[in-house]
Amino acid sequence: MQTSDILIIGGGIIGLSLAREVAGYGLRVTLLERHQPGREASWASAGMLAPQGELSEGAFLQLCLESNRRYPAFRESVEEEVEIRCYHREAGTLAMAVTDEDEAEFRHTYERQRADGLQVEWVSGEEARRIEPALSERVRGGLFLPGDRHVENRVLVPALEMSCHMRGVEIVCGAVVTNVLAEDGRAVGVDTTLGPYYGGTVINAAGAWSACIGVPDPALRPPVFPVRGQMVAITLPRPTFLSRVVRSPRSYLVPRHDGRLFLGATMERVGFDKRNTVWGLHKLLSGAMELFPELEHCSVQETWAGLRPGSLDNHPVLGATPLPGYLLATGCFRNGLLLAPVIAQEMAHLVVSGEASDLIAPFNLARFAAAEVVAGRIPGA
């Protein structure tokens, strides 16, 4: 019989960060992954750490800001442990307006964020072109968000996996979890295609697939679903072309340490479909050329799509469920890379203490019983 203190379903950035954190408390952790760890949304991601990227507010804004504050220590601790550099960038984001509507949207964001005491500056088109000289003459200016960061997710996530191994986490690949097992009113393990696994606590961190795991009662199923994001990687015209993330309401551009530029991302409710489409690629490429006309000559290197774990109110689903011993760490939607440190640390605290901190308590499953949840709205879709 396979027994652990903690069973974690899913080896994306959330499952890996959480497994690593919980193992740091000396608990025996088994992570069950149906394929290879870190090959789904956490690999597809652009790696932006952008707590002020949208007009977030309240508890969600606090969660994002706190995770961003914790990022340097989180990243450095992984880097030191596995002796790998995760190529972070601390240069902030430029959010640039091209049309009247863009400018109105960003002015509104600017006023709101200033009123909330957040770090945000307004820059004119000329100022923006002084910062990023390749920007189009059509850019009218917009926001500079100095606190935004970037991390190479395709380095950080494998580094987290290595760290898990070093901390004694058992990672089982090829184990498709089919359902949660309960006895005497509490979770005792899971059934998988490799047989049952037993553990004192079961944590569902299966990303966009979290609602596919069978549960003894439908009320335990998180309202989580896939939201496709298509991406393109192109070659930078020259190494110094762009030194920070730049976005408009239609696209974003992320310079990577390997000389490539990632263009993202669409937001589509099309089920578990990871194909790239003509519409999607056209949207990303035209959005990028609107900001940087010079890109029309660049070669396309790679296209892909990933499935974000969306939720009914676009916020994560964290913490206890009505079934004792069964916890959720899912629904991170557009911010799973950013939220990994705070979710891992606060969920680990919940596991060892039984208490949900003020940071994660508002994101429990029970909130979906409340009438004010705005069902299925996707910002920017």
Ligand X SMILES: Cc1cc2nc3c(=O)[nH]c(=O)nc-3n(C[C@H](O)[C@H](O)[C@H](O)COP(=O)(O)OP(=O)(O)OC[C@H]3O[C@@H](n4cnc5c(N)ncnc54)[C@H](O)[C@@H]3O)c2cc1C
**Which residues form the interface with ligand X (CB under 6 A)?**
9-15, 32-35, 37, 39-42, 44-48, 176-177, 205-209, 213, 229, 231, 264-265, 306, 308-309, 330, 332-338
In angstroms, give the least distance from the CB of 66 to ligand X: 14
In angstroms, give the least distance from the CB of 13 to ligand X: 5
Which lies closer to ligand X via its Cβ, residue 227 or residue 356?
227
DSSP string for residues in 74-139: HHHHHHHHHT-----B---EEEEE-SHHHHHHHHHHHHHHHHTT---EEEEHHHHHHHSTTS-TT-
Which lies closer to ligand X via its Cβ, residue 207 or residue 287?
207
Number of H helices, E strands in the chain: 8, 18
- Eight-class DSSP state of 299: P
Amino acid in position 30: T
From the list 274, 275, 273, 298, the residue with the least C-alpha distance to 285 is 298
Which lies closer to ligand X via its Cβ, residue 27 or residue 340?
340
Which lies closer to ligand X via its Cβ, residue 127 or residue 273?
273
For residue 198, count CB atoms less than 10 angstroms from its CB and return exposed for 0-12, middle for 13-18, buried for 19 or more: middle
In angstroms, give the least distance from the CB of 22 to ligand X: 15
How many CA atoms, within 13 angstroms, populate the side-chain half-sphere of residue 49? Answer: 31
In angstroms, give the least distance from the CB of 172 to ligand X: 9
Which lies closer to ligand X via its Cβ, residue 222 or residue 306?
306
In angstroms, give the least distance from the CB of 130 to ligand X: 26
In angstroms, give the least distance from the CB of 297 to ligand X: 25
Which lies closer to ligand X via its Cβ, residue 63 or residue 323?
63
In angstroms, give the least distance from the CB of 350 to ligand X: 17
Cα separation, 29 vs 38, whole angstroms: 17
In angstroms, give the least distance from the CB of 36 to ligand X: 7
Spell out where 10-66 has E strands. Answer: 29-33, 48-49
Cα separation, 264 vs 273, whole angstroms: 17
Which lies closer to ligand X via its Cβ, residue 142 or residue 229?
229
Which lies closer to ligand X via its Cβ, residue 195 or residue 354?
195
Q: How far apart are the first and last CA of the chain?
A: 47
DSSP, collapsed to helix, strand or coil, labels residue 194 as coil
